[in-house]
Amino acid sequence: MACTTLALMGVLILNQAVIPSEGYFPSGLFHEDPQWDAATSETVGEYLAAAEEVSLREEASGLETYRLTWLPNFDPGVMVRITDSRHSKARVVRYSGLSPEEGVTVTTVHLDCEEWEALRAQIDDSKFWGAMENRPLPKDQIVIDGSFWVLEGVRDGNYKAVQRVFPRREREEDADFLEVGLAILRMAGFDLDLDEVY
């Protein structure tokens, strides 16, 4: 694959969000309680719809793709979708406020082949396509303070989604997930340290 140089392009989108008919996420991703799960799935889906994102579940036969959605409770959220094509690229969405209706800024970052291969290796090392399990919230818990992180992937016709609430490096079940999420954010141009991440 030919390597490319870094390029940035910014666009502000203010639109009426339209969620795909099948939704963005499989049932049971966020919560063991079906009502809380549906409500959370719809809320997170509204952010993706505001950014005019496609459903990766419906696009599972396409190019290898990873999408990280990070929605902290007290700061604007971020969505990064990285697709392997002839020239790998990341679509970076920064939400303007604490709700998707406040608009988004979209930036495209072109990645070189070393960056793509490094990310792919880290995802493989994390066991995302193997042992990494989704951890929906138990029926007796809801999120009031913290953040939702959702990592989705498409490879070889397969789709997988894993979410975490307020992932911490010191929790064994979160460590690899958090490292992949931070790698994607850094690749997209975010210079974060762990004190800024929740």
Give the other-Cβ count within 10 Å of 61's Cβ.
10
Angle, alpha carbons 31-32-37 (nearest 5°): 40
pLDDT at 13 over 50: no
For the stretch 55-104, pLDDT in tens is 998 877 778 999 999 998 888 888 999 988 666 778 888 887 778 878 88
| Domains of the chain with CATH codes | 22-189 (3.30.1560)
pTM: 0.84
For the stretch 129-170, pLDDT in tens is 998 998 888 787 776 667 889 999 999 989 999 999 888 777
| CB-based contact 105:135 (threshold 8 Å) | no
Rounded CA separation 105/89 (Å): 16
Buried b (16+ CB within 10 A) or exposed e, 69-85: bbbbeeeebbbbbbbbe
